[in-house]
Amino acid sequence: MKILLRSILLITLACCLNCCNLISSLNSYRSTTEAFTNSLINRDFDKCMSLMAMEQAHDINIPQFKVGLDTFRSVIVKNFGTKLEYSFMKAEKRFSSNKEDNLPPNTTLVLIEFHGDKYVGILQVLFDDKTKKIDNIKTLDVKQLIPDMTKFWIFGLFAAIVVAFNIYTIVMVKRSGLKRKWLSYIGIILLNVPSIQYQAVDGLFFKLLNFQFLLGISFQKMGYFGSIWAVGIPLGAIIVRWRISQLNKEPDELYLAENYAPPLPGNIQSPAIHEGEEKKDTDEQ
């Protein structure tokens, strides 16, 4: 037993350390991209080159390379302005070469959202895993108006209603006389399908076979493109509520059958009437 507990503790500790390293790496990707882009806007091309994996580039023409950086700067400034803010979106490790996108091995492909006063875009940055420097950087063909976040947060009220409905149904199950309640609990928690999603940039989506396991909702807030609500229809809770309502009807139906039964045909009387008549005859005697 002690060996098992120690193994679980070691695994948990290793997962925590890996998680901390991953978070540190993601913050490093975002800060490096931010430093590069701000230096680019300020025309500090030497600083930009210090943040890039220039060691791997042989026979590079430095003046021509700076001209390319200046052209890249013009594209960003023209479309998004000079005052930018950044948000991390996602990262993908590349351990081997990929023929489809022609990316080198041992690199990390990172997407960074950036926005100015009016528009929001996405930077695709390729990092070298060995040097932790930028191997390649470009803007994706994305330029969207900054969305109004009011609708996004209003949609959160719908998510709160679904969570409250699921929690209230769990309380009802606990107080009810249902058998095998654990099945009802599992159904309430897991059976939240289909899903309605709301993205801050693209609006509403409907996904037929998409389950939400966290009491019917999931939430993500990473910039504008990464701001997503997902709310599952509480199908499990609806089914359980129906079962509880059917369970509550059974005593009422039994009561009606016993007290409001129709009169028996002919001279046949119910046992209750015979007992009443026998008692009356005994009193008269």
User: Looking at the predicted structure, is the pLDDT value of residue 56 above 80?
Assistant: no
Which comes out higher in pLDDT, residue 182 or 19? Answer: 182
Do 205 and 196 touch, CB atoms closer than 8 A? yes
**158 vs 154: CA distance, rounded Å:** 8
194: preceding bond cis by omega (within 30 degrees): yes
What is the reported pLDDT for 102?
66
pLDDT at 90: 87
| Two tokens, residue 205 | 């989506």
**What confidence tens digit (pLDDT) does each residue in 275-284 have?**
444 444 444 4
Q: How far apart are the C-alpha atoms of 74 and 40, rounded to whole Å?
A: 10
Q: What pLDDT does 16 receive? A: 42
Lowest mean pLDDT among 94-103, 106-115, 159-168: 94-103
Q: Against a cut of 0.75, is the pTM above it? A: no
CA dist., res. 35 & res. 43, Å (int): 12
Check residues 1 and 169 and name the one with the higher pLDDT: 169
Tokens of 238: 């609806």
pLDDT of residue 99: 56
As a whole number, mean pLDDT of residues 257-272 equals 53
Tens-place pLDDT, residues 16-49: 434 434 454 677 898 999 999 999 999 999 999 9
Strand residue runs (E) in 80-194: 85-94, 107-115, 119-128, 134-139, 144-145
Residue 182 pLDDT grade (very low, low, confident, very high; cuts 50, 70, 90): very high
Q: How far is CA 215 from CA 112, 157, 188, 209, 222, in A?
A: 30, 14, 7, 16, 22
- 16 burial via Cβ count (<10 Å: 0-12, 13-18, 19+): exposed
How many other CB atoms are found less than 10 A from the CB of residue 122? 19
Closest CA to 113 of 92, 82, 87: 87
Q: Which of 134, 86, 95, 136 is nearest to 114 (CA)?
A: 86
Q: Which domains does the chain have, with CATH numbers?
A: 12-145 (3.10.450), 149-259 (no CATH)
pLDDT reading at 15 higher than 50: no
